């Protein structure tokens, strides 16, 4: 856990407290089902007493038999209701936690996201949160039953025979005591196993992403051996957790069996007359009542022990989820206000105002880029020129709210002439140099920019991006399936598809990062003319090394010695 974060147990308590009221039903159900064991055992013992000892016909006990059957059905219904309720609450809690983590993920800054391993992120969001399920659905209800049901059964037996009650009272605490001792080792083993799972997920995802490069470099077999070694480590950690679970269950079963056997021996010796006057002389009904309740007094504790690994797994998962929560909580971008969509922009006023900007280096040490002051206007295009690594991409990312500032502010001008601080999704769109196309059809990739766009609008956007010709030549046109990252297309084709998404948006400010890096000169000129036409009534900022592209823009900005100047 982070120094400022709660302990794993406190974190789990806060997690479950989100649905405390809804959880009460799932906690009360096993307690109520356990309490109903008392009349059920008494009626069952009464039936045996009447038939075996008193010699009465079983037909005379029909009412008692029906009552026992009714209690069995009632207990089963209560248990089923509690389980369904716990499952529903667990799903709601997991969904809420995932939604909050996704919200933080989408509000995290670009450096924070680039420093994160996608495999570990996906495992934390899916597997680690799923590990909390057993804590809510099984451990919490069992904990309530283990705390109350044995005590209720001990009190029920006390008026019948004090010795049996004393045996139960002395033996039942041994199980929680041993559980606490085992729990320390189980939690540590679970944490090691989950950390190994995280590392393997990130390792495997990285190798899948770079499998083509590994094959070209002849490293495929070496990496296969490393994956095998990592898998063996995960298997070893998992088996260690299972060994602890099976060993603890065996020892707990021994204690429970010992307690039940002790009660059975005591009652049996008493009936045989070996205990003399020390035996209370209970009837068959009373003795059978005690014997029926004895294993049931241990059952909630045995069930809690069986589900104790859920608590250990949840505590280990809580550490990883809290680590992810704290990691994504750093450098959060403010959420955009709901009134930020399509506000009026006046051409005679700057749409963006940059004041005393300082962009930090990656890691936060030192300043990457300074912008003493800059105003960007509607109907103007700006080319940002500078050496590689000078901060062009970082500047664009800060203009869309993806990168934190160490100093200064960026104001968005709208109908409020005073302006306000820029937030993400504030009518500003960025087309990055590393165009991303998810696995799916070409239409799916374009619909990321405009989910409701028709096929006609998609073709118009492709025409403007000079991509319609090669898309028509594909076997299925817009419905052509692409691999992850646009696998199956050339770099220039991927870039043009990404640029086509621009023409499906309606921003105030357009930011382009090296839009011509993968285009030939003729295609570059055609695409840029279409972009400049599209950006009439908008503000365009282009980061580029291409002097010919920069000459097409109405203004040029230069980065030299870490300072942006007009």
Q: Which residues pair with 430 in a beta bridge?
A: 511
Asked if pLDDT for residue 318 goes beyond 90, the answer is: no
Predicted local confidence at residue 342, as pLDDT: 40
Half-sphere exposure of 557 (CA within 13 A, CB side): 26
Q: Is 505 helix (H, G, I), strand (E, B) or coil?
A: coil
| Per-residue pLDDT tens digits for 520-541 | 888 888 989 999 999 988 889 9
Predicted local confidence at residue 382, as pLDDT: 92
Domain count, the chain: 2
Q: Which residue has the higher pLDDT, 225 or 148?
A: 148
> What does the H/E/C string look like for 125-162?
HHHHHHCCHHHHHHHHHHHHHHHHHHHHHHHHHCCCCH
CA 149 to chain centre: 35
Q: Which of 250, 252, 254, 272 is nearest to 262 (CA)?
A: 254
Q: Which of 82-86, 96-100, 184-188, 290-294 has the lowest mean pLDDT?
A: 184-188
How does residue 343 score in pLDDT terms, banded at 50, 70 and 90? Answer: very low
Q: What average pLDDT does this structure show over 226-252? A: 77
Q: What average pLDDT does this structure show over 303-319? A: 77
Q: What percent of the chain has pLDDT over 70?
A: 79
Look over the chain and give the mean of its residue pLDDT values, rounded to a whole number: 79
Asked if pLDDT for residue 156 goes beyond 90, the answer is: yes
Asked if pLDDT for residue 69 goes beyond 90, the answer is: yes
CATH number of the domain that 489 lies in? 3.40.50.300
Q: Which residue has the higher pLDDT, 494 or 424?
A: 494
Tokens of 136: 């809510």
Residues 224 and 362 in one domain: no
Within a domain: 4: no
Within a domain: 14: yes
Residues 36 and 142 in one domain: yes
Within a domain: 2: no
Within a domain: 50: yes
Q: What average pLDDT does this structure show over 233-247? A: 77
Residues 203 and 298 in one domain: yes
Q: Is 421 helix (H, G, I), strand (E, B) or coil?
A: strand
Residues 305 and 355 in one domain: no
Final residue before a domain boundary, out of 328, 350, 378: 328
Q: What average pLDDT does this structure show over 130-144? A: 86
Residues 291 and 321 in one domain: yes
Within a domain: 333: no
Tokens of 368: 């990457």
Q: What is the DSSP letter of 427?
A: S
Predicted local confidence at residue 111, as pLDDT: 55
Q: Are 280 and 98 in contact (CB under 8 A)?
A: no
Our CA angle for 247, 250, 256, nearest 5°, is 140
Asked if pLDDT for residue 36 goes beyond 90, the answer is: yes
Predicted local confidence at residue 349, as pLDDT: 58
User: Strands across the sheet with 428-431, in order?
Assistant: 420-421, 407-412, 350-360, 367-377, 563-565, 555-560, 380-385, 539-543, 509-513, 428-431
Asked if pLDDT for residue 339 goes beyond 60, the answer is: no
Torsion-angle region of 401 (φ positive above 0: left; ψ -120 to 50: alpha; else: beta): left
Beta-carbon contacts of 48 under 8 Å, excluding residues fewer than 6 positions away, are 284, 285, 288
Q: Which residues pair with 141 in a beta bridge?
A: none
| Per-residue pLDDT tens digits for 369-416 | 888 888 888 888 999 998 888 888 888 888 887 777 778 888 776 544
Within a domain: 394: yes
**Residue 438: Cβ within 10 Å count:** 12
Q: What average pLDDT does this structure show over 88-104? A: 82
Tokens of 270: 């008493």
Q: Are 253 and 14 in contact (CB under 8 A)?
A: no
Residues 287 and 256 in one domain: yes
Beta-carbon contacts of 218 under 8 Å, excluding residues fewer than 6 positions away, are none
Tokens of 551: 């000459």
Final residue before a domain boundary, out of 328, 358, 377: 328
Burial (CB count <10 Å: 0-12, 13-18, 19+), residue 15: buried
Radius of gyration of the chain measured on its C-alpha atoms: 35
Residues 513 and 475 in one domain: yes
Residues 152 and 219 in one domain: yes
Q: What average pLDDT does this structure show over 189-218? A: 69
Q: What average pLDDT does this structure show over 436-460? A: 85
Asked if pLDDT for residue 296 goes beyond 70, the answer is: yes
Q: Which residues pair with 370 in a beta bridge?
A: 358, 563
Q: What average pLDDT does this structure show over 250-260? A: 81
Range of the domain at 254: 9-328
How does residue 1 score in pLDDT terms, banded at 50, 70 and 90? Answer: very low
Residues 342 and 319 in one domain: no
Residues 308 and 410 in one domain: no
Q: Which residues pair with 549 in a beta bridge?
A: none
Predicted local confidence at residue 542, as pLDDT: 92
Predicted local confidence at residue 44, as pLDDT: 93
Within a domain: 140: yes
Within a domain: 3: no
* Sole residue written with tokens 């009134």: 339
Q: Which of 34-48, 125-139, 216-230 has the lowest mean pLDDT?
A: 216-230
How does residue 336 score in pLDDT terms, banded at 50, 70 and 90? Answer: very low
Asked if pLDDT for residue 558 goes beyond 80, the answer is: yes
- The Cα-based distances of 452 to 426, 455, 456, 460 in angstroms read 20, 10, 11, 14
Q: Which of 223-232, 330-339, 424-433 has the lowest mean pLDDT?
A: 330-339
Our CA angle for 155, 159, 165, nearest 5°, is 55
Final residue before a domain boundary, out of 328, 350, 365: 328
Q: Which residues pair with 377 in a beta bridge?
A: 350
Predicted local confidence at residue 29, as pLDDT: 92
Residues 279 and 190 in one domain: yes
Helix (H) / strand (E) element for 376: namely: strand 367-377
Q: Is 251 helix (H, G, I), strand (E, B) or coil?
A: helix
Predicted local confidence at residue 7, as pLDDT: 61
Predicted local confidence at residue 338, as pLDDT: 38
Residues 375 and 319 in one domain: no
CATH number of the domain that 270 lies in? 1.20.1560.10
How does residue 332 score in pLDDT terms, banded at 50, 70 and 90? Answer: very low
């Amino acid at each position: 856990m982070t120094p400022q974060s709660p302990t794993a147990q406190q974190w789990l308590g806060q997690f479950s407290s989100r649905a405390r009221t809804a959880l009460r039903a799932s906690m009360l159900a096993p307690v109520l089902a356990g309490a109903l064991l008392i009349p059920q055992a008494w009626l069952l013992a009464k039936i045996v007493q009447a038939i075996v000892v008193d010699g009465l016909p079983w037909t005379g006990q029909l009412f008692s038999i029906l009552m026992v059957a009714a209690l069995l059905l009632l207990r089963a219904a209560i248990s089923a209701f509690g389980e369904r309720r716990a499952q529903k609450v667990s799903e709601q809690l997991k969904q809420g936690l995932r939604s909050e983590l996704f919200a933080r993920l989408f509000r995290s800054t670009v450096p924070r996201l680039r420093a994160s391993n996608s495999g570990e992120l996906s495992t934390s969001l899916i597997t680690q949160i799923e590990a909390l399920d057993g804590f809510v659905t099984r451990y919490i209800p069992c904990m309530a039953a283990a705390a109350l049901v044995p005590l209720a059964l001990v009190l029920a037996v006390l008026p019948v025979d004090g010795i049996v009650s004393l045996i139960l009272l002395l033996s039942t605490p041994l199980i929680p005591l041993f559980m606490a001792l085992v729990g320390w080792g189980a939690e540590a083993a679970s944490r090691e196993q989950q950390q190994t799972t995280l590392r393997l997920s990130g390792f495997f995802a990285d190798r899948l992403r770079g499998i083509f490069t590994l094959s070209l470099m002849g490293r495929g077999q070496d990496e296969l051996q490393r994956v095998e070694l990592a898998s063996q480590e995960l298997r070893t950690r998992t088996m260690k957790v299972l060994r602890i679970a099976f060993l603890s269950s065996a020892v707990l079963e021994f204690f429970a069996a010992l307690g039940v056997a002790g009660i059975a021996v005591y009652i049996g010796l008493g009936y045989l007359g070996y205990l003399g006057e020390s035996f209370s002389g209970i009837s068959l009904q009373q003795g059978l009542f005690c014997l029926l309740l004895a294993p049931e007094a241990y059952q909630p504790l045995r069930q809690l022990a069986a589900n104790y690994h859920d608590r250990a797994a949840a505590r280990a998962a809580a550490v990883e989820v809290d680590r992810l929560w704290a990691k994504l909580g750093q450098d959060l971008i403010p959420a955009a206000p709901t009134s930020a969509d399509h506000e009026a922009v006046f051409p005679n006023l700057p749409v963006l105002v940059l004041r005393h900007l300082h962009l930090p280096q990656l890691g936060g040490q030192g300043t990457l880029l300074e912008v003493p002051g800059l105003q960007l206007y509607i109907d103007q295009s700006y080319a940002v020129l500078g050496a590689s690594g000078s901060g062009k991409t970082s500047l664009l990312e800060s203009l869309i709210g993806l990168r934190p500032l160490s100093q200064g502010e960026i104001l968005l001008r709208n109908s409020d002439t005073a302006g306000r601080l820029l937030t993400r999704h504030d009518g500003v769109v960025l087309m990055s140099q590393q165009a991303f196309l998810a696995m799916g059809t070409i239409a799916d990739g374009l619909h990321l920019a405009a989910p409701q766009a028709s096929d006609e609008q998609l073709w118009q956007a492709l025409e403007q991006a000079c991509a319609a010709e090669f898309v028509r030549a594909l076997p299925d046109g817009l419905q052509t399936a692409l691999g992850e990252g646009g696998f199956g297309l050339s770099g220039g084709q991927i870039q043009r598809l990404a640029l086509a998404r621009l023409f499906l948006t309606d921003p105030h400010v357009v930011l382009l990062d090296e839009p011509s890096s993968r285009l030939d000169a003729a295609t570059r000129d055609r695409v840029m003319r279409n972009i400049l036409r599209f950006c009439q009534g908008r503000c365009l900022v282009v980061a580029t090394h291409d002097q010919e592209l920069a000459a097409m823009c109405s203004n040029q900005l230069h980065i030299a010695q870490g300072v942006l100047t007009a």
